[in-house]
């Protein structure tokens, strides 16, 4: 992955610059909906595991801390799913802090796209893991400072807005929404969230872009 600690890049990747004191390095990845955060997270995990072994890097997606639909219905928030208030913010921050220092296996939630629901203990941060990659929309949002504090760095994923919006429409239609409903959701929910998130860009430690030659940090 060019620019991410690959040969000749001049960069030290997450696996080469872990934190002091034996703690795990926690790398946060943020950006607006559809920017490619999970794509980048999975690519980083693949690269780190290929270089250092399968258990070296672990995944902790913020999506696993979505409130389940039963809770969204109770709170009257089903139509705002994906907004900051539809996540277990404190649970996410506490889990990030826990995985940074725990010396045993830590089971963490994932997110099942086909169900559009969080799934308890779907993922594991193995005892041997030295890097945890966590992507989420709101890592730099005011009120989420505890989550940010648990991360050693947070990278911002940059993508052209028109491309990003089309990716979102394609994602929503792939998981069952009609085209018109998908576009309406992007306009009325995703883009409202994107505006909130965009205002946090300046707080990121690094900006990363996908190019024809791979991901490049700036």
Please check whether residue 152 lies inside any domain of the structure.
Answer: yes
Three-state SS annotation for 49-107: HHHHCHHHEEECCHHHHECCHHHHHHHCCHHHCCCHHHECHHHHHHHHHHHHHCCCCEE
Residue 8 falls inside a structural domain: no
Both tokens assigned to 151: 């991360």
Instruction: Kindly state whether residue 22 falls inside one of the protein's structural domains.
Output: yes
Structural domain harbouring 158 = 14-212
Number of domains in the chain: 1
Q: How confident is the model at residue 38 (pLDDT cuts 50, 70, 90)?
A: very high
- Domain for residue 141, yes or no? yes
CB 33 within 8 A of CB 190: yes
Q: What is the pTM of this model?
A: 0.89
Query: Which residues is 84 bridged to in the sheet?
Result: none
What are 130-167's pLDDT values in tens digits?
999 999 999 999 999 999 999 999 999 999 999 999 99
Report the DSSP pairing between strands 153-158 and 25-30.
parallel
- Report the CATH number at residue 29: 3.40.50.300
Q: Confirm whether 7 is domain-assigned.
A: no
Half-sphere exposure of 125 (CA within 13 A, CB side): 25
């Amino acid at each position: 992955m060019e620019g991410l600690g690959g040969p000749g890049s001049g960069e030290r990747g997450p696996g080469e610059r872990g934190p002091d004191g034996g703690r795990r390095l926690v790398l946060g990845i943020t950006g607006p909906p559809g920017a490619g955060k999970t794509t980048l997270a999975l690519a980083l995990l693949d690269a780190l595991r290929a270089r250092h072994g399968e258990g070296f890097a672990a995944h902790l997606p913020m999506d696993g801390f979505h409130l389940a639909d039963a809770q969204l219905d109770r709170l009257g928030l089903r139509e705002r799913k994906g907004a900051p208030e539809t996540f277990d913010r404190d649970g996410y921050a506490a889990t990030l802090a826990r995985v940074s220092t725990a010396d045993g296996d830590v089971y963490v939630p994932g997110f099942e796209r086909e169900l559009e629901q969080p799934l308890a203990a779907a993922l594991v941060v193995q005892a041997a893991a030295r890097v945890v990659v966590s992507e989420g929309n709101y890592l730099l949002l005011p009120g989420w400072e505890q989550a940010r504090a648990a991360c050693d760095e947070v990278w911002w994923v940059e993508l052209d807005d028109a491309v990003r919006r089309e990716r979102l429409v394609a994602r929503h239609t792939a998981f069952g929404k009609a085209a018109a409903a998908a576009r309406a959701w992007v306009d009325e929910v995703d883009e409202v969230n994107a505006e909130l998130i965009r205002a946090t860009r300046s707080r990121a430690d690094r900006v990363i872009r996908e190019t024809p030659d791979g991901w490049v940090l700036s």
